[in-house]
Copies of this chain bind each other. A is one copy, B any other.
Amino acid sequence: MSRPCDINIMPEPEQSNRPYEECGVVGVWGAEDASALAALGLHALQHRGQEAAGIVSHDRKRFYQHKGLGLVGEVFHDQRVMATLPGHTAIGHNRYATTGATLLRNVQPLYADYEFGGLAVAHNGNLTNAATLRQALVRRGCLFQSTTDTEVFVHLIAISLYASVLDRLIDAVKQVKGAYSLIALTADMMIGMRDPLGVRPLILGRMPRSGAWVLVSESCALDIIGADFVRDVDPGEIVVIEGDGIRSIKPFGETSPRFCVFEYIYFARPDSVLEGHSVYEARKHIGFELARESGVDADVIVPVPDSGVPSAMGYAVESGIPFEMGIIRNHYVGRTFIEPTDQIRNLGVRMKHSANRAVLEGKRVILVDDSIVRGTTSRKIVDMVRAAGAIEVHMRISSPPTRHPCFYGIDTPEESKLLAATHDLAGMAEAIGVDSLAFISFDGLYRALGHAGREEARGRYCDACFTGDYPIELVDKEGHLVIA
């Protein structure tokens, strides 16, 4: 009885242009139930995007798509929906929307009918010359339907003068700059690609029985469907899967990688293995390093759940101070909730976290968290811990101070809103109300990743959010392009 109704407010030019987002992508080629496997993979990557999800499948005759706002399990909620996505191949996408309302037309994969046939594209990351390219494309007569960077690829492929899809795609990726992994699907092939520096992850796997090929953002998405890990896709590599076979194209030749170090610190799931490192082990080793670098006498180590847990465990092991779950996270916090009055709104962070008074009262507490962004959440947690009776609160952070925005696909506030960009260490400690504050050092961070220290790791990672050293040209930003 209910009919869909689409309320779209036209994108304000000021907002439509910076869709920083981190997302998850999945592709399956050559399996019965390809869409179901893709949906399961997206579910395992749910932490990379919770606002929307979509799948496009192909059954050797036509394309099918289903997209929706919400969690993967909500969008792909029953067999009737899955039955609309038949075929031996499917690609999917989780979206984490940051600007204004999540519009359904921005939900990926994007699909377009070309002269050569249909093509669907799912993309994780951010182009640094998207606005510049978009302006040129619009000037040329291209009509954009979404505000995603992905649509820039879609139009570049459409207007390319090359004949084959693959040549058109290479033509397109040679024009874009940015950090991205993408999965594309035509009637004949599935394509996976990482940007030339390999900033964002992309992993190739294979189903043991069916031999189906699988592309995923993180290895945890292989585990959920029982696929074997084959290898990380190389930086700048295009993997082409067609028929039963797979081939590799490197249009940029061999490139030196700069993998996003923040994936280890915060973004990836702890049971994932990225570029050969266990995320869980990396975090735990950061805890070891933190304890060595910034030890303080205390009664309990308490993680800010969930991402602070492994580092806090590492800290506890190294320091010998007991590890306790002094903060309980309420896992039922959804995307919306009651905010009836200012009085209630002040309850704020307590919707998500609550203090476990039994382990905090009368104690000197070391809180371990992954990062400090604006500092407001940290302040609320510290206040809550003190209200539960902690007599000292020390904060230890498993990343260096976040002083610069990410232009490569992770949503971060602008610099002026980053606490570490505007305060020194003492100022930050005061702002969040702790007795002491320490961040992991760069040497400590890279030792935890298996290097001798910062120097040895130099040029291997992107750590621009900590250093401001951006390895990919920020065309839109530097060109002072004020897109209206």
Contacts and interface: CB of A to CB of B under 8 A. Distances in A.
A351 B331 CA distance: 16
Contact of A10 (B118, B220, B224): B118
Contact of A328 (B39, B67, B269): B269
Given A43-B337, A271-B356, A357-B271, A224 B350 contact: yes
Contacts of A113: 11, 138, 143-144
A339 B82 CA distance: 9
Interface of A: 1-12, 32-33, 35-37, 39-40, 43-44, 46-47, 50, 62-79, 81-84, 104, 111-115, 118, 138-145, 154-155, 158-160, 220, 223-226, 269-271, 273, 278, 280-281, 306, 309-310, 313, 317, 322-325, 328, 330-334, 336-341, 343-344, 347, 350-351, 354-359
B328 A323 contact: no
Nearest to A361: B278
Residue picked from A141, A220, A270, A359, most chain B C-beta under 10 Å: A141
Given A142-B158, A313-B323, A358-B280, A1 B70 contact: yes
A271 B354 contact: yes
Residue picked from A47, A76, A143, A359, most chain B C-beta under 10 Å: A143
Contacts of A337: 43, 73, 76-77
A332 B317 CA distance: 30
Given A4-B4, A8-B65, A62-B10, A338 B271 contact: no
Contacts of A334: 71, 73-74
A74 B338 contact: no
A347 B39 CA distance: 13
A81 B336 CA distance: 13
Residue picked from A2, A334, A356, most chain B C-beta under 10 Å: A356
A273 B68 contact: no
Given A77-B338, A140-B159, 17 more contacts: A1-B5, A2-B2, A3-B68, A3-B70, A4-B5, A6-B67, A11-B113, A35-B340, A36-B340, A44-B330, A113-B143, A142-B142, A143-B155, A220-B354, A223-B355, A224-B347, A313-B323
The 7 closest A-B pairs by CB, nearest first: A2-B2, A278-B358, A141-B159, A5-B68, A141-B158, A46-B332, A271-B356
B332 A71 contact: yes
A155 to B, nearest CB: 7
Contact of A44 (B73, B341, B354): B354
A157 to B, nearest CB: 9
A2 B68 CA distance: 11
A102 to B, nearest CB: 9
Nearest to A351: B43
B354 A224 contact: yes
Contacts of A62: 9-10, 12
A271 B44 contact: no
B145 A145 contact: yes
Given A309-B325, A330-B43, A330-B44, A358 B271 contact: yes
Contact of A40 (B328, B338, B358): B338
A317 B359 CA distance: 15
B330 A322 contact: no
Contacts of A341: 32-33, 36
A66 to B, nearest CB: 6
A356 B270 contact: yes
B1 A72 contact: no
A184 to B, nearest CB: 15
B143 A7 contact: no
Contacts of A75: 1, 5
Contacts of A63: 10
B143 A6 contact: no
